[in-house]
Amino acid sequence: MFRIGSGRDSMRDHLESGGLVVYPTSTLPGLGCLPITSGLDNLYSTKNRPETMPVSLGVSSMRQVEAIVEIPDFLDEFLSAFTKGGITTILPAIETMDPRLGGDNVAIRVFSHPAAISLAEEYGPITATSANESGVAPECNTEIAAQILGIEYFVAGMCPNGLGSTFVSLEKSDDEIRGWRLTVMREGVIPRADVMRWWTNPT
């Protein structure tokens, strides 16, 4: 699963020391680190990504972030209406986080790819940003993506490429029928029209 000569203990040590791993998702190869300062420093430097552009956290289920973000009662129903992994949800943070993770609003993606799910289950929430330098087209093969970025650790796999996940922001609002306001921030693999159709008529 990992690079030759590595294993679970080696991967844990690598990630806990701020290391990066490239892994497959249902859309594009992901670049993962633990949500710690050293990992984020490494990730932003490797991607040459402006620190004003936050990255998402990938999880095996929303239960992994119950202590991190506020989760609406309807969220499971909402996410289950679409292709798993196709929606990234921006939710209010319970406590302000590193600005590179969104600060007061954190983007969460529930993985659908088995390898990504296993990674999150084993090591906890990891960053879910594309494994490419900012402004450069991503590769489909995780090993090639890792080589280009100079990253030793990767989970082997091919990705369909194309569009990334659709980003949806949910903010508390007394003016809305569910007590939350939904905004499509970035259209991706799930069309904006499909999201809004569910939101206005979930049944």
**pLDDT of 106-158, one tens digit each?**
999 999 999 999 999 999 999 999 999 998 988 999 999 999 999 999 999 99
Name the helix (H) or strand (E) containing 184: strand 180-186
What pLDDT score does 37 carry? 97
* pLDDT recorded at residue 5: 40
pLDDT tens by residue, 22-74 = 999 988 899 999 999 999 999 999 999 999 999 999 999 999 999 999 999 99
- Please tell me the distance from the alpha carbon of residue 203 to that of residue 21, in angstroms, as a whole number: 40
Contacts of 143 (CB under 8 A, 6+ apart): 22, 154, 156
**pLDDT at residue number 27:** 87
Backbone phi, then psi, for 75, in 5-degree steps? -65, -40
pLDDT band at 101 (very low <50, low <70, confident <90, very high): very high
Which CATH number describes the domain made up of 8-200?
3.90.870.10
> So what's the pLDDT on residue 8?
64
Computed over every residue of the chain, the mean pLDDT equals: 92
How many CB atoms sit inside 10 A of residue 172's CB?
13
> 125: closest CA among 141, 138, 106?
106
Query: How high is the pLDDT of residue 167?
Result: 96
70-77 long-range CB contacts below 8 Å, 24 or more apart? Answer: 70/94, 70/172, 72/170, 72/178, 72/179, 72/180, 74/178, 74/180, 74/202, 75/170, 77/202
Comparing 178 with 163, the larger pLDDT belongs to 178
- Give the integer Cα–Cα distance in Å for 178 and 22: 37
d(CA 79, CA 91): 13
Tokens matching residue 178? 């569910």
Residue 4 has pLDDT above 70, yes or no: no
pLDDT category of residue 161 using cuts at 50, 70 and 90: low
Instruction: Indicate the angle between helix axes 8-16 and 114-123, nearest 10 degrees.
Output: 70
